[in-house]
Structure 1
Amino acid sequence: MTSDARVVVIGAGLAGVALARRLGELGVPALVVGEEEHRPYNRVLLAEVLAGRYAPEVIALPGPAGEPVRGRVTGIDRAARRVRCADGTEITYGTLVLATGSNPVLPPLRGLFGADRRLPEGVHAFRTMDDCLGLARAVHPGVRAVVVGGGLLGVSAARALAARGAQVVLAQQAERLMERQLDPVSSGLVRRHLTGLGVEVHTETRVRDVRCAGGAVHSVELADGYRLDTDLVVLACGVRPRTGLAEEAGLAVRTGVLVDDRLRTSDPYIRAIGDCAEHDGTAYGLAAPALEQAGVLATLLADPDATARYTGTRALTRLTLAGDEAPAAPAPFLDLAAFGDPDPRPGDDVVQLADATRGTYRKVVVRDDRVVGGVLVGELGTVGALARAWEGAEPLPDGTPLLHLLTNDGGS
């Protein structure tokens, strides 16, 4: 069977669906091909589904006209401008857009894979709706869980598991949680929050071994030889751009599929956006750049003469950690936002406000009269103004008291 569409989008995640929806608004026909059985959903909110705060349908994305075609693309014929699907379907394109997303990083742990290269029973990645639903079925009050990885994904997973009543241990190889986004003080507040939910946090700790019996995990071993008995292991070690189709088709790939400012790959008829794309040396792996790329590309595909360009995204990390679904006693929310570089250089101006009793912390870094980074925990009233100042990269007005950047009331 052969079908035709002007624009074919491979991937029904946030980037692909946002692109198709915007193209529809601009009157450009687009066909989305997605391999997951579930309706397109917001992957950012999977932890809330795992925590039991949202049902899966709540995080469904508003889709374009027409449901995505379900199928797995197995190859791209660039000469014929056609993609092949696992069921034998061939789809012809005028422009092909790769929005294939990313795969979870599976660490090189001894015992992680059996002879069939499948994860043992009880060991879960945490990337897709199926991963999330599989974990939700396995979690019950008192179950023992080890989360490997203390970045944004690992912290979210640990909080969600604790909300379901699991006994959670989080093992982080770096010296602090979310070290890419947070400074030591704000990371410490996140750690305190997780500890308050009953999560046992180990930093500067590497898991080296997964122990199984009868095909099911029963413990993990740390690099220092300490063994943790467990029923579940959650791998939250980051993601890697999904580039297999692009590589097999002969497109230029480094970390991700290389694209220019018009989001073109090395083939002028193929574009790439979202987690799988690498622009100007950066593969973002975040929602904000994916949405911005989708908007720019929709404009360009609707009007090839448009001057729109993608020049990079200054991404804001925002996360709500909530323990209010824990079966024991309600725990407070912990809101945090981080942007830019929160670690000052010599000569930078730094303003910090901390309240140890309330567990709040605000910090902004100013370099050459420009906001270059900051982090807020617990109180986000000024995040909008700070993020705008940072994104604009404009000098602060002369005479601006730096304390005003962190207060809603002029510092009183």
Structure 2
Amino acid sequence: MIPNPDESLTSKRPVRVLHLEDSQADHALVRLTLRRARLAHEIRQVDTLADFASWLDRERFDVILADYHLPGFTAIDAWQLAEARGGHPPFVLLSGAIGEAAAVDAMRLGFADYLLKDDMARLPHVVERAIEVAEARRAREQATADLAESEQRLAALAEHLQTTIEEERAAIAREIHDDIGGALTAVKFDLAWIQRHSREEGLRTHADTACEMLQHAIDASQRIMLNLRPPVLDQGLAAAVQWLAETFERRTRLPVRLLCESAAAAQVPPALQLVAYRTAQEALTNIHKYAQASQVRIELSDHEGVLTLEVTDDGCGIAPETLKKPRSFGLKGLAERARRAGGWLDVSSQVGRGTSIIVSLPLPGAARLPSHASPGPEGEQEDET
């Protein structure tokens, strides 16, 4: 490097310049112009592609000034060489009359600026601006990379938490079935024995009352167990969705039409089963609570390697202003789960004309879908998972 004798005139770090120029006179003019502008700088002149590549590998520069026509190559060749290495400093095309078309081509490639040698007085300003723009772009790219990394960490954490929740649900369901359910059943047998063998009317009356309350407890434990993790999931997604529809129909008296293609009964990975099942469960819960519907339709299919579940009702729909509720997390969480599985969740609704919730998930071996999960139907949900 050739230090600038006037670099002490500024407290800034000297600007490191790589000058691609075969004319010593033009190079001297560049140095003189930068010095007169009191721009602290260090500059290196090269006039061959080999030297240009060597200095790029050896040093870090803030800006590259490049003449257009050089012996055996052009500034475009130098740009392509630097571009192949990646992370190069901004290029400023500093040349004579090269023609508007060549200048436009250079700018389209990504040159930071273009300056005629006849307008050399503007060089310091052009250099400083090119460096500022490049630094701003690098800062923006770094911020974008940091944001993407942060989102990836949050997504991984959310996936870990969701997996943990599902594992806990399954463990609690097993404990309810094996321990609590077994104990309640044993107590019921003992009470039944007392009912059969007791001769005191009062004791039998108390035993009858206790049996009724015990049956309520058994029913409640079974309902909780099934909500946590229904064993029917082990029989496949189609069977689980059918059980969910039948249970919903019995509980709410709302007719549910289930359309399930035979291919959809094929083996689906457990993780995708849970995403689809929880989507149907959440949609039916919201329909029961808010939709005021008279009928429900559920469609399950796996056309072209994509598992699709659609839950549609003919209820009151969702008002547009309710779609931006900040504290509605039910289907938002499901949309995130679908996105992590490589799919998407879509909610479409019109006031007075019902709501349709669709989740699409790529099956193993199929091309991945673009992830564009839409906001959940906050107008028909509350803060629930």
Tell me which protein shows more strand as a share of its residues: 1
Bigger radius of gyration, 1 or 2? 2
The TM-score range, normalised by the shorter chain, is under 0.3
